[in-house]
A and B are shown apart, each in its own frame.
Chain A
Amino acid sequence: MKRILLAALLMGTGLSATVASAQEWPSKPIKLVVPYAPGGYTDAVGRITARFLEKELSQTVIVENRAGGGGIVGSDLVSKSPGDGYTLCVCSVGAISIAPVAQTTSYDPLKSFKPISVVSTIPQTVIVNPSLPINSMEDLVKYAKANPGKLTYGSSGAGGLMYFSVALFDARVGTKMTHVPFKGGSPATAAVVSGEVNLSFTNMTDALPQIEANTVRALAVTSASRSEFLPKVATVAETVSPGYAVESWNGIMAPASTPDAIVTKISAALKKMAADPEVKKNMAVAGASTVFTTPAEYTAQIGKEVDQWRTLLKEISDKKT
């Protein structure tokens, strides 16, 4: 009897401890893991988010960069961290929606995490070297079909979104372009400027300054709707490939075991952040749009993206055999 009582008591205190910890959260500094090197686009988003959350939650928020494996190392670390709301991830599309499909990761994008909210999105821009006689997406498709394999595109490497978005484009419109991988998005963009490669699907951050300086020609954006940064530039979907939508996003995710009470609190803070004019302004400098989604919407979006890339990879491997 004594034992049972003791057990009940222990269970009770254990239970109340978790409840209390959710109520008191945050009572100590929060670690925001950025799975990329400092200085990059995700790092900027992470630091803007940390700065806002720090004010909003009146608690220190530490940004910790854990770069490696295209975001896999840091994401993996968060998926294995205790779900107490003190370790969060500034996750991104590459490590969450693409890597688990294209290679093997020790985490499952939906089972190992609790997605909280997408905080920013950034479309890619189809840019070509201005010396090419290609002025529109229609020109691009025509040229590519007339010269199969001759057009070259730069990417950030075989596992990255810059490669997958062109692979998806090729599969949808029936073109064949030659893949030229670089170590990162920035040298790939530089190669379009110098003319070493003909084109690339480059994220807005890298593309915008070059477009403004007329060192590259922008043909389209890859998001479902036009970008606020280039309102005159059409989307890929409205020109040559209806339904085509690729967008890079960064979102806050927590380990799967995180209590819902804490997730709700973070979600509320992120909702306020999406409406904050200063955050919007700072995100815009990085070429990103400030976004808020509910945990359910975010989860659904990841599911949809995983399906899209899985189908594409199957199409590609079917063609090879």
Chain B
Amino acid sequence: MIDVFAALGHGFSVAATPLNLVFCLLGAVCGTLIGVLPGLGPVATISLLLPATYALDPIGAIIMLAGIYYGAQYGGSTTAILVNIPGESTSVVTAIDGYKMAQQGRAGEALAIAAIGSFLAGCFGTVVIALLGPPLALMTQKFASPDYFSLMILGLVSAVVLANGSPFRAVSMIFLGLLLGMVGMDINTGEARMTFGLIELSDGINFVALVMGLFGVAEVISNLENKFTRIVNHSKINSIWPSLKVLRGAWGAITRGTLIGTLFGILPGGGATIASFSSYALEKRVSKTPERFGNGAIEGVAGPESANNAAAQTSFVPLLTMGIPTSATMALLVGALTLHGIAPGPTIISRQPDLFWGLIASMFIGNAMLVIINLPLIGLWVRLLNVPYRILYLVIAVVCAIGVYSVNNSSFDIYMTVGFTALGYILRKLDAEPAPLLMGFVLGPMVEENFRRSLITSHGDPMVFLQRPISLVLLLLSAVLLISIVMPSISRRRQEVFQE
């Protein structure tokens, strides 16, 4: 343990050189900015900035690029809360209650809780990397396809909980999401599915185009239709600082969100998006007053925002300890390291201690910088609501388009955004919430992939899902959750028991 602190101390001596502090700050500011701008994500930004880092020393470069990634998780909640448009996919669920809070004049409160939760979760995630990185990476090695399959099933079942309306609509939305997730090349056979011969669809539907269409532009359009609902009563904007009572209410959600995010971040394929969705579902499930969710519950902001930040930090674990990237952003960081002459692998901690510990130390510094940057900005963001919507919506639409285009440099993705905007608008009219759809879309391909892979490696034996302890536990949890949703009488009786 003392070794860890000595090493971390050394890390701080690397990260706290004036130049590296500047890089850390640059990364944090840049990350906040792209987080706030809808559609523009860390992947596009890091790949744009990659050539600019050639001249830098590798540690400075990686400190800055990492800062962009976790900084984006801070900024993503801002537009979700203020205008119901998530800046990042991880903030989709934040919009559900965050925007309601903003409409009630509690925007400052929601933004402050999001920043505080993010800070605490980010620091906790970094402590976990420093203390437990290598053993945790070994733990993820115990996860095989059947376990992932069961985990994804649990995720799908909890997606029903996300919805505020009828479970039937939620389930339909999940299935629509699953269907959209099927588009693209079948990795088992190489056949193109539902691509209509369009080569652009062979890798599946672009996630950012889907999110920006369903959540971003569709929101703009439905606001244009109705002049009166969106406008916040400005006189009602309370103080920016949350009261002690609010903090106390959010505390449990922040803790649970942090733990969920830490866990999901480490698992390959899980990542920050699923962590934030799961945290929201959990908060609603454990709440004594679940009816507040969807109407401005602070836990619905605190939990997911903590979860996505913790996950953003711990998703560095597989990369830094095993050399295995688990997401597009991590793959990009591998590329950045390679271009700087460092091949990331299981030996990176012993061979590049300066880089490993310097990066971890910079994460503490970066999180502190982010909270310092973001808290004073809240006042400014809230005032953004005073900008006339006729100007604001144009800015939002243009930024969404740039963001979607920047993912693949493809104009086809813009057309797709237009299509999903139409779908999003129709779904709004039908009172069908798009959040469960997104969960189905994200999890569907992973469910299929892991299901088929499990059966291939077990040579066709379906019992493999029940024989593995991790998988069995997850499936039992899913079954319990499913029963409690399907039989409302059971859950009602349960609640009565709890209240007694």
| Cα A178 to Cα B455 with chains together (Å) | 12
Give the chain A neighbours of B347 by CB distance below 8 A: 209, 212-213
Indicate whether B203 reaches chain A with its CB closer than 8 angstroms: yes
Binding site for A on B (CB under 8 A): 43, 46-47, 50-51, 54, 141-142, 144-145, 185-190, 199-200, 202-203, 268, 322-325, 328, 331-336, 338-339, 341-347, 408-410, 449, 453, 456-457, 459
| Cα A64 to Cα B50 with chains together (Å) | 12
Stretch at the interface among A115-123, A186-194, A263-271: A186-194
Known: A47-B50, A73-B200, A182-B449. 16 other contacts (CB 8 A): A39-B332, A39-B335, A44-B335, A65-B408, A67-B203, A68-B199, A72-B202, A180-B457, A181-B188, A186-B324, A194-B141, A196-B144, A205-B338, A208-B343, A215-B346, A286-B343
Interface pairs (18), CB distance under 8 Å: A39-B332, A43-B335, A47-B339, A48-B339, A64-B409, A67-B203, A67-B408, A68-B203, A68-B408, A73-B202, A76-B199, A152-B457, A157-B187, A186-B331, A196-B144, A209-B346, A210-B345, A215-B346
| Cα A213 to Cα B349 with chains together (Å) | 12
| Cα A183 to Cα B181 with chains together (Å) | 14
| Across the A-B interface, the 7 shortest Cβ-Cβ residue pairs | A209-B345, A39-B335, A158-B190, A38-B47, A213-B346, A39-B332, A69-B202
Give the chain B neighbours of A212 by CB distance below 8 A: 345, 347
Give the chain B neighbours of A321 by CB distance below 8 A: none
CB-CB under 8 A for A40 and B335, given A66-B410, A103-B190, A208-B345 = yes
Q: Which of B145, B449, B459 contacts A183 (CB 8 A)?
A: B449
Residue pair B457, A197 in contact (C-beta under 8 Å): yes
Residue pair A51, B190 in contact (C-beta under 8 Å): no
Give the chain B neighbours of A66 by CB distance below 8 A: 408-410
Question: Smallest CB-CB separation from A99: which chain B residue?
Answer: B190
B448 to A: closest C-beta gap in Å: 11
Question: Smallest CB-CB separation from A209: which chain B residue?
Answer: B345
Question: Smallest CB-CB separation from B192: which chain A residue?
Answer: A103
- Please report whether the interface of chain A is mostly helix, strand, loop or mixed according to DSSP: mixed
B46 to A: closest C-beta gap in Å: 8
Give the chain B neighbours of A209 by CB distance below 8 A: 323, 343-347
A78 to B: closest C-beta gap in Å: 13
Indicate whether A63 reaches chain B with its CB closer than 8 angstroms: yes
The CB with the most chain A CB atoms within 10 A, among B51, B323, B341, is that of B323
Give the chain B neighbours of A51 by CB distance below 8 A: 54
Give the chain B neighbours of A194 by CB distance below 8 A: 141-142, 144
Question: Smallest CB-CB separation from A43: which chain B residue?
Answer: B335
Give the chain B neighbours of A65 by CB distance below 8 A: 47, 408-409
Give the chain B neighbours of A187 by CB distance below 8 A: 268, 324
| Cα A190 to Cα B347 with chains together (Å) | 15
Residue pair B457, A69 in contact (C-beta under 8 Å): no
Q: Which of A44, A68, A178, A215 contacts B202 (CB 8 A)?
A: A68
**How many chain A residues touch B (Cβ–Cβ < 8 Å)?**
55
Question: Smallest CB-CB separation from B143: which chain A residue?
Answer: A194
Give the chain A neighbours of B456 by CB distance below 8 A: 152, 178-180
| Cα A69 to Cα B408 with chains together (Å) | 12
Give the chain A neighbours of B410 by CB distance below 8 A: 66, 68
Indicate whether A299 reaches chain B with its CB closer than 8 angstroms: no
Give the chain A neighbours of B338 by CB distance below 8 A: 44, 205, 285-286
Q: Which of B185, B342, B344, B408 contacts A157 (CB 8 A)?
A: B185
CB-CB under 8 A for A159 and B335, given A39-B47, A65-B409, A196-B145 = no
CB-CB under 8 A for A102 and B190, given A76-B199, A209-B345 = yes
Give the chain B neighbours of A210 by CB distance below 8 A: 323, 345-346
Question: Smallest CB-CB separation from A194: which chain B residue?
Answer: B141
Residue pair B342, A196 in contact (C-beta under 8 Å): no
CB-CB under 8 A for A39 and B203, given A66-B408, A180-B453 = no
| Cα A282 to Cα B141 with chains together (Å) | 31
B356 to A: closest C-beta gap in Å: 14
Interface string of A160-197 (1 = CB under 8 A from B): 00000000000000000011111100110110011011
Residue pair B339, A44 in contact (C-beta under 8 Å): yes
Question: Smallest CB-CB separation from B144: which chain A residue?
Answer: A196
Give the chain B neighbours of A141 by CB distance below 8 A: none
| Cα A100 to Cα B378 with chains together (Å) | 54
Chain A, range 45-73, C-beta contacts under 8 Å to B: 47-48, 51, 63-70, 72-73
Give the chain B neighbours of A193 by CB distance below 8 A: 141, 322, 324
Indicate whether A37 reaches chain B with its CB closer than 8 angstroms: yes
A167 to B: closest C-beta gap in Å: 12
| Cα A248 to Cα B269 with chains together (Å) | 27
B340 to A: closest C-beta gap in Å: 8
Residue pair B343, A285 in contact (C-beta under 8 Å): yes
Indicate whether A85 reaches chain B with its CB closer than 8 angstroms: no
The CB with the most chain A CB atoms within 10 A, among B47, B188, B338, is that of B338
Give the chain A neighbours of B47 by CB distance below 8 A: 38-39, 65
| Cα A224 to Cα B335 with chains together (Å) | 28
Give the chain B neighbours of A152 by CB distance below 8 A: 456-457
Give the chain A neighbours of B189 by CB distance below 8 A: 158
Indicate whether A287 reaches chain B with its CB closer than 8 angstroms: yes
A198 to B: closest C-beta gap in Å: 9
CB-CB under 8 A for A69 and B185, given A47-B51, A196-B145, A212-B347 = yes
Residue pair B185, A159 in contact (C-beta under 8 Å): yes
Give the chain A neighbours of B344 by CB distance below 8 A: 209
